[in-house]
Chains A and B, each alone.
Chain A
């Protein structure tokens, strides 16, 4: 059992032509259903749906309020290490990037944790590059031992592991897995990842499943928007999320929507993803997968984030830095990419409160 077999069935389908064949009647039919199929989802992300974005947004808002209420959960990333053996063309930490490499000591992790925890955040997302000999599983486990004292929930965004690897980290207190396929286009994936362990498309594609099988409470998937035609990648992301929901009902499945941002390098995204595109995918996902989490990071601007809080987003990062030890070490460290919304946690929380959304600092702990 693997999502790959479903992917194989659909990858031959020409989403563009499918979208072209979708007229306004198909869009309205899909919008009026209680339970949507993946074909209905394709209709909602099609160009034919553009005149109906407001109607879809109203439905999305209604679903969001019923299932998640007037709340958005806050978290922040913590970069532990930026050593990396991959050469992902779009990434600021890729092996060939001429940046300072660093991995925090456990004391430094504790300092960083103390500073982040002082903002009130209880959910942390830890990140490393893909250097398994350097940022080893046992190193990450040791970091978790420290972080457990400060945070009620720890998620990881690290290199893809086998099921046993995920089980080890769960034993150490990890409860969430974030892993992006980057793009579902196999050929493009191959080009973007010329060398390194991440080159194995299938091993990465099955990682969310392995995480769920290992017992992760939450699994977040996504693509890096801008690498490929967003409609195709979002179609497969939603198909994947739906498959995970159906096969792992006990796991909370979320979709993150990272739009590519400039980094210390020269990669230019081939595709533009506009604010309208982002809105269309958020509301279509919410209507297709009512209980699926949707995460928007500080890659997005303050203006954009302020305007999407009522559309169906369930989690937002805040007070972020994308440098190793970005809160506590000297500012000599390089960022993986530039963040856009630079508001502090308290500023973000105050904005939400003033707009009748309750910022959730804690939504789980290791009972």
Chain B
């Protein structure tokens, strides 16, 4: 499986596990988590970055080989997301941007309409846009048309650790959308990530489940192994499953009997 390189946004990635920077007890854990996961991509909330910080700054802890994926967490409108994206690029964070527009603080569910609007503007400005959405086929199609480089559907609301509650809808995106599908949010256990990869997702982004575990470094490793296992299973094309045993009195058996009589 060494040849299974994930090409996206002009980069070749050796890992299909994307990680985050939020919720850690200390940002100083981040380099070790990068190492234990083998992840190549890391998302960071621009609203929490203080480029002039006299205190600790999360950016200091991100190893230089990591591909940055700044996110627009905190944005409530497409305009805010656009401004955050431009600031991210202007401050040297590159041209990848994960669009998060959330207008519901209770469930933290993304606003598809605002996300599509921001995506349309930012792709024209040369950003590689990774929009975070509810797994909605129509919104995903709009995002394809708007020039997104991937679709990031949620498995369950952010921070819930509830797994792939939206599995059926994600499967539709995997089957029908001609862009990489990166499952984001809700993945609480390595088995959830494995399940998403087995189903044909191109990658998973995991933050809460790693950052809030008792041992983020070990949990990061577990997720990396689960993502690899799921990906291998997908590539190996698992045998079909059936709930039906072979019937002892087949309904179509007469075809052969009839042929035998003639």
In the complex, residue of chain B having the shortest beta-carbon distance to the beta carbon of A66: B159
Query: Chain B nearest CB: distance from A117 CB in Å?
Result: 8
Q: Beta-carbon contacts of B54-85 to A below 8 Å, as 1s and 0s?
A: 11000000000000000000111000100110
Known: A65-B212, A356-B25. A120 touches B159 (CB 8 A): no
Query: Chain B nearest CB: distance from A285 CB in Å?
Result: 14
- List A residues 41-93 near B (Cβ within 8 Å): 65-71
Q: Is A19's beta carbon under 8 Å from chain B?
A: no
Query: Chain B nearest CB: distance from A41 CB in Å?
Result: 15
Taking CB atoms, residues of chain A closer than 8 Å to B49 are 362
Are A69's CB and B24's CB within 8 A? yes
Are B106's CB and A361's CB within 8 A? no
Q: Is A206's beta carbon under 8 Å from chain B?
A: no
Query: Chain B nearest CB: distance from A150 CB in Å?
Result: 11
Taking CB atoms, residues of chain B closer than 8 Å to A39 are none
Known: A70-B24, A120-B55, A358-B25. A252 touches B80 (CB 8 A): no
Are A66's CB and B105's CB within 8 A? no
Q: Is A277's beta carbon under 8 Å from chain B?
A: no
Q: Is B5's beta carbon under 8 Å from chain A?
A: no
Q: Is B161's beta carbon under 8 Å from chain A?
A: yes
Known: A66-B160, A69-B22, A245-B106. A358 touches B54 (CB 8 A): no
Among the listed A120, A252, A291, which residue makes an inter-chain contact with B54, where contact means beta carbons less than 8 Å apart?
A: A120
Q: Is B26's beta carbon under 8 Å from chain A?
A: yes
In the complex, residue of chain B having the shortest beta-carbon distance to the beta carbon of A367: B83
- What separation, in Å, do the CA atoms of A362 and B208 have in the docked complex? 19
Taking CB atoms, residues of chain B closer than 8 Å to A291 are 105-106, 108
Are B53's CB and A253's CB within 8 A? no
Among the listed B24, B47, B54, which residue makes an inter-chain contact with A365, where contact means beta carbons less than 8 Å apart?
A: B47
Among the listed B47, B83, B161, which residue makes an inter-chain contact with A362, where contact means beta carbons less than 8 Å apart?
A: B47
Q: Is B152's beta carbon under 8 Å from chain A?
A: no
Chain A contact-residue range equals 20 to 34
Are B104's CB and A249's CB within 8 A? yes
Are B53's CB and A362's CB within 8 A? yes
Among the listed A152, A358, A363, which residue makes an inter-chain contact with B26, where contact means beta carbons less than 8 Å apart?
A: A358
Are A364's CB and B74's CB within 8 A? yes
Among the listed A69, A249, A357, A361, which residue makes an inter-chain contact with B53, where contact means beta carbons less than 8 Å apart?
A: A361
Query: Chain B nearest CB: distance from A166 CB in Å?
Result: 16
Query: Chain B nearest CB: distance from A291 CB in Å?
Result: 6
- What separation, in Å, do the CA atoms of A71 and B50 have in the docked complex? 16
In the complex, residue of chain B having the shortest beta-carbon distance to the beta carbon of A246: B106
In the complex, residue of chain A having the shortest beta-carbon distance to the beta carbon of B211: A69
Q: Is A122's beta carbon under 8 Å from chain B?
A: yes
Q: Is B87's beta carbon under 8 Å from chain A?
A: yes
Q: Is B27's beta carbon under 8 Å from chain A?
A: yes
Are A120's CB and B53's CB within 8 A? yes
Query: Chain A nearest CB: distance from B87 CB in Å?
Result: 6
Are B54's CB and A66's CB within 8 A? no
Q: Is A360's beta carbon under 8 Å from chain B?
A: yes
Query: Chain A nearest CB: distance from B75 CB in Å?
Result: 8
Taking CB atoms, residues of chain B closer than 8 Å to A246 are 106
Q: Is A251's beta carbon under 8 Å from chain B?
A: yes
Q: Is A260's beta carbon under 8 Å from chain B?
A: no
Q: List 26 A-B contacts (CB under 8 A).
A: A65-B212, A66-B212, A67-B159, A68-B23, A71-B22, A118-B54, A217-B76, A245-B105, A249-B104, A249-B105, A250-B104, A250-B105, A291-B105, A357-B25, A358-B26, A358-B27, A360-B48, A361-B53, A362-B47, A362-B49, A363-B47, A363-B48, A363-B74, A365-B47, A367-B46, A367-B83
Q: A66-B161, A353-B26 are in contact. List 9 more A-B contacts (CB 8 A).
A: A70-B23, A70-B25, A120-B53, A122-B50, A291-B105, A358-B27, A362-B49, A364-B74, A367-B84
